[in-house]
Structure formats: C-alpha cells, structure tokens
Chain A
C-alpha cells in the first residue's frame, strides 16, 4: 500500500496520464448484450459470477489474458487473495452508490456499467508516470495496481478515495460515451493541451481545472470534475476550492460543476449530491473494515 500512496499522490495528479484510450462517440454500447465468459468453477469464479455477471452483466477478468494486454508493457496478474476484497470494495464504493441513488436501482448499473472489468496486479508504467486505470470504448475498464490494494495491511480513507476516484473517472467516460454532454462545457476555460504535465495540480486549479490532467482534454476535464466532486466530502471539496487564490479559477470550477450536475441529473436522473453522500458513507465504512 505504501507504493500505492506514491502512485496515488504522484500518480493520479501527474499520472492520470492515463492513456484513456480515446473514447469515440460512435461506439454505442449495447447494454442488453449478455456477457457469457468462460466458466471459472473456482470459488472465486463462482462468487464473481453471482455478484457481478448475473446482477450487473459485468465480466470480471482477474486471470491473466494476454489477448487484450499491451505486449510492450511489463504487467503481472493480481494476487488471487486480494481480488475478492478489492471487488467487494468496487461493489461498495462504485456500484452500490449509483444503484442506491438511481430510480432504476440495480438496473442502472446493469445498463450503463462497463461490460468487462479487467484487473491487473501491477501498475502500467509510462515515461515518468504510472497508469492506474484505462477505459476503452465504453466496453472495458482496466484497473491496475491491485496487488497494492491490501486492506489487511491497512488502507486510509484518502487512499481509498483516490483509488476509487479512478474508477469513477473511468465510469464517467462510459456515461459520456453513451450520452454526450453540452459542448459549451469545453468553452468554460478552453486552453486544453497535450502538454498538461508542465504544470501541477495547484497551478491547474488557479486556471480553473480541478487537476493538471483535466487540462489534457475537455472529456478528461469533465470526468475529473465528476470524479473529484463525488469522491470528496463537502468539507474536503471546500478545502480544495478554498485553497485556490484566483477567484476566476474558483468560478470556472464551479461553472463546470454546474454543467456536470445538470448533465447527471437531466441525462441519468442522478443527483450528484446524493451520490457524493452515498460514496462518502461507503468509503468511510470500507476504511473502517466493513466490506459487506
């Protein structure tokens, strides 16, 4: 978990260099497509089947499958004993909050979640950064560094929040790919650049971006705002925005929150304040060791 701290602090800020593979808007997802993976008759396989595939139509891949792994990277599969606690946390901090605040209940995630959740044990290293998550074409989310996610060794609330912010970030991409947001969003600040690593989070916030990575593209900006807002408590969010000295920067961020909030409410019937509360409760419970 120590390494995870480093990743999350150094990583998520600079490193959401996440090569979120460009999310093409033409890739409509067929939510009714039923996933029928190869049978995994192990106890873990059966638990995953009954907990993810049957209720949410999500195929969880925890065993190594090189067919969709980047051969140029050194990666390893997750440690098997860490998979179930991790997935329970996924359920609690990602899936359950959406189900609880959506009028559609469990059907919401069954319709909108990724169809495949791929778990990788190690980080995926880039030049100077590490990829923690990857969303591909609304179909698959890959999560890395599972081998650092050892609840028994102790995981702080902040570490949990940061880890699952990645998950919410990726899911934000999927929601956007299903239904686009108002194109005016990209005009609030503009100034998107591939050279986003040249400034740090604090400097980015002064410019009206919630993180340095948010500056990389409007699609990233949108899901960064969403993921930060719903995984930070009200106090944490106020502390974060309160640390910004530029009023213009604060105003830009608040405008973006408004667009994101309207989008989630109007498009999916999700109140992001309710969602934030559900996630906050879940993160606190997991941090206290309650996974059920």
Chain B
C-alpha cells in the first residue's frame, strides 16, 4: 500500500511538471473578442467607405427568388436602403434606419430599426414572409461581404458597387440584364462542362427559380440576376464543380461560371429553329431599322395616330401563331381602353440555323384584314417582309434580339426585341 502511495505521488508530480512546462501553440493569436471586434471594425470600414454603396443579394429562404437591396452606410449606425420589387409596389423606394454590430450569435450585423425596404420581408403584419433582418458575418473583403441570415441561414452576399452610379440607375441596369436573359420567350439554358452539353437544362428562368430535371426529381434553384449574369442561391451540383456565379462571356454566347470557367450555360444553337418555335411578339425596334423599313414604320405609326385619335402603345412586331402555323406582322395599339391586335399572316420556312423565308398569304385576322387596307404603309411593309432573311443576334445565349437582313438586298434590315 505504501508503495502504491509513493508511486501515485510520483506520477502526480510528474504530471504536474509536464502540465506546467508544456507550451501550447495558440490556434489564434488574438482572443475571441478581439477577433470579433476586429471583424466588426473591418466590416464597418468596408461598408462606410464605399462611395456608391453596397448591393445586398437577399434571399428570404431557400425557395424564394433573390432581391436587390441597395445600401448606403452613411455612418457608424445609419443606413439608407433602396429597392424596387413587389414589396415596394414595384416603385423605387428609399428608407433610412439604423444598424448595429453585436455578438448575439457570432458576429452579427443587425438592422435594428424598421426600414421600409428591408423589414417588410420579415413583417408578420404584411406578407409574413419570415425573412431575416439580422445577419451573421461570414467573411469580409473590400469588395464583397458574405453573410448568413440569422434565422433562416440563407446565404446573403453584399457586393460593393463600383463606379459612380446612382442606385436607381444601378437597378435599371439589373432590370436590363433580366430582360436580356429572362424575358418572355427566353430559352432554356443547357449546362455544358468542358465543351460538352450535359442532360441538365435550366428552365423556367422567368420565375427566378430554375427547374432542372434529373433522373429522380426536378431540382429547384433560386437565383438572382446580377449586372452581368446571375448568382445561384447555392452552388449547383450537376457539373461536380460547384458553379454558382455565372456571367455573360465577351460575345454573349454563353453564361460562364466565375468559379469554374469550364462550366457554362448555353442557349439554342439553331436561331431560326428557336425563333420559329416562339409565340411571343418580336417588336420592331425603331432605333434600329434600315431607312426604307423606318420610313414604312413611321408611316404606319402616323396613320394609326391619325385614324385612331388618342391611341397609345402602338407597336409593330413579328409574332408566332403556332395554332395557325403562321407568323404574323402584328400591328397593336390601345384605343378607347381596348387593345387592338391586327395580324396579317405569313407562311414561313427556316433556311438553315440562321435564315428564314416569309411568304405573305394576304390573309389575316379580322382586324388585320381591315387595317391592312386602311393604314398607310401596313400592306407595303407586309410585302417588304415577304422574302428571305438572314438572322443574327447580339445575344446568342438568350436570343434577346433578332436582326433580319434581306438576303437579296442587305441594305434592308430590321432589328426586333422579344
């Protein structure tokens, strides 16, 4: 027993000496509170030093589309937030409120008084969407801050706005990119990896939540349009490379992953085939018409204005009518609060992937048949279009526009927009 006691004491003393002499290398050089304070300082400096503010790419939850909230941090606790979305009645709205940094759940930035642009996403007295207005700070750089919704764990990114651009103008640019990529009639986008198309097709982009069919289920991926493309709610898994941010390449032929450039989304390779299958209106763009087409365009607009005094929203378009297997030269306007749609019909045939021939049938719907003889220039334009055209687009990935150039006379051309 005495021996055991003696050894026990020896072991105890050895352990003590080991413990007292052992030197631990600290994992962090600073204390936890110092690290958090430094992060706050870093974040505060980045936020307040941006002259054009920050764009918060906000998701309510993992099923919702994304929203742009444009923020100006005007002081250590003052912020102005601008937005334009369905919660602001699609009107541009600006609201000022306060924010603070706290350590309530790790480093947190909390928008702690009601802001008319941000808090409606969380307000149970409005739509009760359950969105966040407090965010855990994940990482900070001079140009981007990664956050996570404190309640919903939604990934939220803040991008520094570069250049001297007003907030409303910035939102207008986003809207323009939304039109280019996801307006009515926009194509599905096929995932391509290392130049080879995959089976994964990103469809339903107009809803701002992609649907991607797989062998077992349809996967839904919310996204938010950015200045040059879009950002997915979370990285996709189909490519195996985790692409998330996609931007238009230099010739607008693909949306290329910022993270893995070998991952791309591509649109239709047969422009004529794609155009032939659409049923949307391809409106003639009066700022981009050859002189002869522009003269007829102006004659038609003027004639409608004179004959139907007070008419508004007058347009000319090529419109697919799949049920009749026609394309029409559509003349539309609003008169006495009624929408008038006049169609004169063309048979059509694709000439390879970048050409199409229209053949004027001299028929149309009742409005078209009436107006083609009463509106100056309408019949002449129909005759002008009754020929073969070459097709080009400025945006091959989305075919947002189509320029029709007369094959027999390249000086005659017109540009259309979906």
Q: Say yes or no: B119 contacts A66, CB within 8 Å.
A: no
| In the complex, chain A residues 68-92 whose Cβ is within 8 Å of any chain B Cβ | 71, 73-80
Q: Say yes or no: A64 contacts B112, CB within 8 Å.
A: yes
Q: Say yes or no: B112 contacts A63, CB within 8 Å.
A: yes
Q: Say yes or no: A74 contacts B100, CB within 8 Å.
A: no
A124, B112: Cα distance in complex, Å: 17
Q: Say yes or no: A79 contacts B125, CB within 8 Å.
A: no
Smallest distance from the beta carbon of A159 to chain B beta carbons, Å?
16
Q: Say yes or no: A74 contacts B113, CB within 8 Å.
A: no
A187: chain B residues at CB < 8 Å are none
| In the complex, chain A residues 49-74 whose Cβ is within 8 Å of any chain B Cβ | 62-67, 71, 73-74
Smallest distance from the beta carbon of A171 to chain B beta carbons, Å?
25
A121: chain B residues at CB < 8 Å are 114, 119, 123, 125
Q: Say yes or no: B114 contacts A147, CB within 8 Å.
A: yes
| In the complex, chain B residues 114-137 whose Cβ is within 8 Å of any chain A Cβ | 114, 116, 119, 122-125, 128, 130, 133-134
- A66-B104, A67-B104, A71-B151 known; A76 and B110 CB under 8 Å? no
- A64-B133, A64-B134, A66-B104 known; A75 and B114 CB under 8 Å? no
**Cross-interface CB contact of B130 among A65, A67, A74, A77, cutoff 8 Å:** A74
A62, B112: Cα distance in complex, Å: 9
Smallest distance from the beta carbon of B136 to chain A beta carbons, Å?
12
Q: Is A179 an interface residue (CB 8 A)?
A: no
A125: chain B residues at CB < 8 Å are 124, 128
Smallest distance from the beta carbon of B8 to chain A beta carbons, Å?
48
Q: Say yes or no: B112 contacts A123, CB within 8 Å.
A: no
Residue of A with least CB distance to B116: A79
Q: Say yes or no: A63 contacts B113, CB within 8 Å.
A: yes
Q: Say yes or no: B134 contacts A76, CB within 8 Å.
A: no
Residue of A with least CB distance to B96: A80
A124, B150: Cα distance in complex, Å: 19
Number of B residues whose C-beta is below 8 Å from A? 22
Residue-wise interface mask of A (109-150) relative to B, using a CB-CB cutoff of 8 A (1 in contact, 0 not): 000000000000111110000000000000000000101100
A19: chain B residues at CB < 8 Å are none
A76, B125: Cα distance in complex, Å: 9
A102, B113: Cα distance in complex, Å: 36
Smallest distance from the beta carbon of B3 to chain A beta carbons, Å?
56
A66: chain B residues at CB < 8 Å are 104-105, 110, 134, 150
**Cross-interface CB contact of B114 among A67, A78, A123, cutoff 8 Å:** A78
B130: chain A residues at CB < 8 Å are 74
Residue of B with least CB distance to A65: B112
Residue-wise interface mask of A (5-47) relative to B, using a CB-CB cutoff of 8 A (1 in contact, 0 not): 0000000000000000000000000000000000000100000
A253, B133: Cα distance in complex, Å: 46
A123: chain B residues at CB < 8 Å are 124-125
Q: Is B387 an interface residue (CB 8 A)?
A: no
A121, B112: Cα distance in complex, Å: 11
Q: Is the interface of B mostly helix, strand, loop or mixed?
A: loop
Q: Say yes or no: A64 contacts B110, CB within 8 Å.
A: yes
**Cross-interface CB contact of B125 among A64, A73, A147, cutoff 8 Å:** A147
A147: chain B residues at CB < 8 Å are 114, 123, 125
Smallest distance from the beta carbon of B26 to chain A beta carbons, Å?
29
Smallest distance from the beta carbon of A279 to chain B beta carbons, Å?
27
Q: Say yes or no: B112 contacts A75, CB within 8 Å.
A: no
Q: Is B311 an interface residue (CB 8 A)?
A: no
Q: Is B74 an interface residue (CB 8 A)?
A: no
Residue of A with least CB distance to B134: A66
Q: Say yes or no: A77 contacts B125, CB within 8 Å.
A: no
Residue of A with least CB distance to B113: A80
A75, B133: Cα distance in complex, Å: 10
Q: Say yes or no: A76 contacts B114, CB within 8 Å.
A: yes
- A64-B133, A66-B150, A67-B104 known; A80 and B114 CB under 8 Å? yes
A148, B97: Cα distance in complex, Å: 18
Smallest distance from the beta carbon of B182 to chain A beta carbons, Å?
30
A64, B111: Cα distance in complex, Å: 8
Residue of B with least CB distance to A41: B77
Q: Say yes or no: A76 contacts B119, CB within 8 Å.
A: yes
Best-surrounded residue of B100, B110, B125 (most CB of chain A within 10 A): B125
A76, B115: Cα distance in complex, Å: 10
Residue of A with least CB distance to B119: A76
A79: chain B residues at CB < 8 Å are 113-114, 116
Q: Is B312 an interface residue (CB 8 A)?
A: no
A-B contact pairs, 6 of them (CB 8 A): A63-B100, A63-B112, A64-B113, A74-B122, A76-B114, A79-B113
Which positions in B face A, CB cutoff 8 Å? 97-98, 100, 104-105, 110-114, 116, 119, 122-125, 128, 130, 133-134, 150-151
